[in-house]
Structure 1
Amino acid sequence: MILLGLLLLIIGLLVNMSLLTTVGGILIVVGAVLWVLGASGRAVGGRKHYF
């Protein structure tokens, strides 16, 4: 999710589309939060691991 957000953020900045930039930024933040919660051992959405 972080990689997809980063990709959308870069594309949004290159083509000057604020919608892609906003969505990319949101995906980066959500991905980082889920990553931190998963790394701390806390179950996210009822699962401890996503494969």
Structure 2
Amino acid sequence: MEIEPIPSENLPPGFDPSTCRSVYVGNIHSQVTESLLQEVFASTGPIEGL
């Protein structure tokens, strides 16, 4: 399934939403591990870093 980018006026100059996808996850419970985050987000594509 292909996900279409949602245009936003908050994107930085030069940002190409067709090739770059980033998610900031903050204020999560202290018991949430990197392994759990990788498992949750693995279905969206490769994970570059946590």
TM band (smaller chain): under 0.3
The structure, 1 or 2, with the larger RCO (C-alpha pairs under 8 Å, 6+ apart) is 1
More helix by share: 1
TM-score (norm 1): 0.26
Give TM-score scaled by structure 2 length. 0.27
